[in-house]
Amino acid sequence: MKIIITQDSERLGKKGEVVNVKDGFARNYLIPKNMAIKATKERLRSIDAIKAELTKREERHTKKLKNLALKLETLSLKAELRMGESGAFGSITNADIAKLLKEAGHEIDRHKIEIPHPIKETGIFDIPINLGAVTATVKLWVTPKE
């Protein structure tokens, strides 16, 4: 089956390209996930219009992500960590940071928060948040809990 790819894929190619795939793969996977559309005669004639539409859609999405990143860059989160003589009791994970972001009015999936390891000390940390095409950095202030 001939399809037109709507999202870049390492295995299939770049968006807007016309490729041949097996019928079941196209019907059961690519088309339901909006990764491709069936290449009809009309669509093949208007492929330039489709490419322009996909580019506009991606630009709008990227613009929304950049606006969200700007809002997140100005955000400063505060978390408390119970401290003892030998160190911290517990840690701050990406799930905790996602909860703080939700309380601040931003619904961010915890998997998009990229901390290399849980935070087990007090201080100021830059927390990278991968939004897709854009990465935002949020300041996290960790203070001892009394």
pLDDT in tens, the chain (146 residues): 999 998 888 888 887 888 999 999 999 999 999 899 998 888 887 877 777 888 898 899 999 999 988 988 888 889 888 887 777 788 888 899 999 999 988 888 889 998 888 888 888 999 999 988 888 899 999 888 87
Domains of the chain by residue range: 2-65, 70-145
List, for residues 105-120, the tens digit of each pLDDT value.
888 888 999 888 888 8
CATH class assigned to 70-145? alpha beta
2-65: CATH topology is: Ribosomal Protein L9; domain 1 (3.40.5)
At residue 11, the pLDDT reads: 85
At residue 6, the pLDDT reads: 87
CA angle 46, 60, 114 (to 5 degrees): 125
Find, among 83, 89, 93, the residue nearest to 144 by Cα. Answer: 83
Tokens at 6, concatenated:
């709507």
List, for residues 61-86, the tens digit of each pLDDT value.
999 999 988 988 888 889 888 887 77
Find, among 122, 81, 59, 131, the residue nearest to 101 by Cα. Answer: 131
